[in-house]
Amino acid sequence: MNIKLVTLTLQCRKSREVIHFSSQITYIHGQISAGKSSIMRLIDFCFGGTLEKTPAISQELVSVELTVNIGRHQVLLEREAESANTIQVTWQDEQRNTSSVLAPLKLKSAEQAKPIWSEDIYNFSDLVFYLADITPIKVRKSKQSDDSPLIRLSFRDIMWYCYLDQDNLDSSFYRLKDPFRGLKSRDAMRFFTGYYTERMNELEIELDRVTEDRHTKIEAAKQIRKFLHDFGYGLETEIYAQIESINAQLEVLKEQQRAYREEHSQSTHFTDELRQQLRQLSEQLGSEVGSLEDLNERISEQTTLQAELLTAKFKLAKSESATSILAGVEFEKCPSCGTDLDTASEIQTDECNLCGNLLGAETEDALPQTELMRRDLNSRVEDLEDSITRHRNALTQQVKRVEQLRNNKAELDARLSQELTDYDSAYLAGAREIDRKIATLEERSSNLRQVLEMYKAVGKFEQEAEQLKDRQIELRELIDSEKMKLGEAEENVVSIEKRYKTGLLSVGVPGVSPNDQVEINRRTWLPWIFPEEGDGYTFYNAGSGGKKTLLNVCYALAVHQVTEISGLPMPTLLMIDTPMKNIGEDVNENIFHAFYTYLYNTAAETLQNTQFIIVDKEYFEPPQDFKGQVEAKFMSPTEPLISYYRGA
């Protein structure tokens, strides 16, 4: 991966500082607090790193620009000092076509992400790989879990092998012990050494998909089981048992309901007798009321007749009086023709002056007839009076009887109504209770059947997860067998081991002897040094800080050598901030000499195409026969990075 720095430009508040880099070795040396390390940090900042805000940087720096050749492109990286997450990337290809994009450093969420360039360039890292014409491998986002998704290896992960910063130089800038970044670092090593193939990549992607699918199913099954457990549902068999129990209870209740309804329709006959009594009573009452009306009618008729007879009696009395008064008045004219009667000459005194008949015989019968009529009338009036009295007595009795019957009927009516009401209320209450129980049980049964469906779904998920597990095992076996085929990559790793040992011996790292074994663990990618006697050690347990620094630097040089020789995708850039950290140049002069001699030799032989940026306190001049380019820059607090700044 061809990456060559050209210039670094600092836009400060009062000046514009430009630093040119040698195409091979740029050696920056000088006193402390001159801004040597800041140059490294600013380069790293332009490649997406974080910037340590020294007082000078935070007060004076406005923006920083880095011109760099990446692949076949001339690239300008611009970043605002305060810019958090974006880098303006402008580039020109071989045909001098210029393009520019504002590249984000971090990927947005998958839903929001849109390509910033082409079809699959989403962020700064993608763009650097694109400009270098390299396709990065896909790695797991997290190696802690097999379920982690695959993502592209980030350019930042690779930069750990290109920028050995001072702070981590005596521990591990490779971060191989870092819980999270160590995994990325291992991916970077796999990427450099070619310890992967397309086939393995495909298998890993499929494994990733299968793992995720399986995990999803297991998680879904687990969640549903937890949910069911939390809501008090037991085992599937218990649910079946509960449903059976509920169905049995339902059968019993429905039988009760049927029986209850039948009993109700039959039980209403208990009022039949009462109804019969009422019917008879109604008929009797109707008959008695008819009699009462007859009696009234008869009394009325007889009273009228009695009145007429009494009137007749008065008329008879008047007739008697009038007859006696008018008896003395004689006819003077004929009542038929009106002719005057001549009574003196022809009519005798004992004869009628109208017809001439004798009067004696008729008058004897006349008086008894009037008396007979009067007696007859009296007799009739008395009879009627007696009859009316009897009828009135009968009427009084009849009224009482009708009243009694009416009361009886009203009482029976009320009783019938009350009994029917009471019976209906009792029936309804009972029926409702049964209905309620049935509804409750049916609802419960329905719920449990739905829960059973959930159990079936869980079972299905678990079965599918089991099948996926088989596929996982199969895929892992395939990946293992694929790894076996990685002969070339293995050779690269062995080469690194050899170069590393050579480097350590050349520098004269204390405690390392030619008989020691150097071995890179293929799983952890930690380079171990095993002495003939005693335990092995690596970066972390090497003891001395100075020794740790040398182990780190030698390892970086070994990796870069092998990647350059084999044409592996490592950036052709190696920045080492203070390789002599913790090593006094005066006290350990031999090591100081040996290291830089080894560095220059390496740069002259295997790392001819690698650009070095070295920062150190002392300058070690290259050997006279060194044919490469070395540009040394001296810096001091009086000639600092920001020319006008005179701060702390």
Partner 1 sequence: MGSSISTLHNLLVAKDLAEVNVKGRTIEISLTEQGKRVAKTLAKDEAFVDLNRRANLLKTHFDIKGTRLMKFIYETFPEIASMRSGEEIGK
Residues that bind partner 1 (CB under 8 A): 300, 303-304, 306-308, 311, 314, 317-318, 320-322, 325-326, 329-336, 338
CB of 419 to partner 1, least distance (A): 47
- Report helix, strand or coil for 298: helix
- Per DSSP, the residues of 86-119 read EEEEEEE-TT--EEEEEEESS---TTT---SBTT
In terms of CB distance, is 105 or 309 closer to partner 1?
309
DSSP states of 305-352 as a string? HHHHHHHHHHHHHHHHHHHHHHTTSPP-B-TTT-PBP-TTTS--TTB-
H-run or E-run covering 431? helix 360-484
Residue 461 identity: F
How far apart are CB 331 and partner 1 at their closest, in Å?
5
CB of 400 vs partner 1, minimal distance in Å: 25
Q: 293 or 631: whose CB is closer to partner 1?
A: 293
Q: How far is the CB of 407 from partner 1 (least distance, A)?
A: 31
Give the shortest CB-339-to-partner 1 separation in angstroms.
10
Q: Which residues pair with 63 in a beta bridge?
A: 11, 80
Distance CA 498, CA 566 (A): 14
Choose between 338 and 567: whose C-beta lies nearer to partner 1: 338
Residues contacting residue 106 through CB under 8 Å, at least 6 positions apart:
85, 123
Distance of closest approach, residue 337 Cβ to partner 1, in angstroms: 9
- As given in the structure block, the two tokens for residue 608 are 């001819």
Q: What is the DSSP letter of 3?
A: E
Residue whose C-alpha is closest to residue 606's, from 572, 643, 562, 553: 562
Is 257 in contact with 438 (CB distance < 8 Å)?
A: yes
Minimum distance from residue 332 beta carbon to partner 1 (Å): 5
**Helix-helix angle 360-484:198-230, to 10 degrees:** 150
Among residues 311 and 467, whose Cβ is nearest to partner 1? 311
Q: Is the CB of 329 or the CB of 429 nearer to partner 1? A: 329
Residue 330 or residue 364: which is nearer to partner 1 going by CB? 330
The minimum distance between CB 315 and partner 1, in angstroms, equals: 9
Q: Which is nearer to partner 1, 380 or 471 (CB)?
A: 380
Region at 429 (left for phi over 0; alpha for psi -120 to 50; beta for the rest): alpha
Report DSSP letters for 170-227, one per residue. TS-TT-TTSTTHHHHHHHHHHHHHT---HHHHHHHHHHHHHHHHHHHHHHHHHHHHHH
301 or 480: whose CB is closer to partner 1?
A: 301
Q: What are phi and psi of 134, to 5 degrees?
A: -130, 140
Tokens found for residue 240:
């079946």
Least distance from partner 1 to the Cβ atom of residue 391, Å: 16
Give 318 or 460: the residue with its C-beta nearer to partner 1. 318
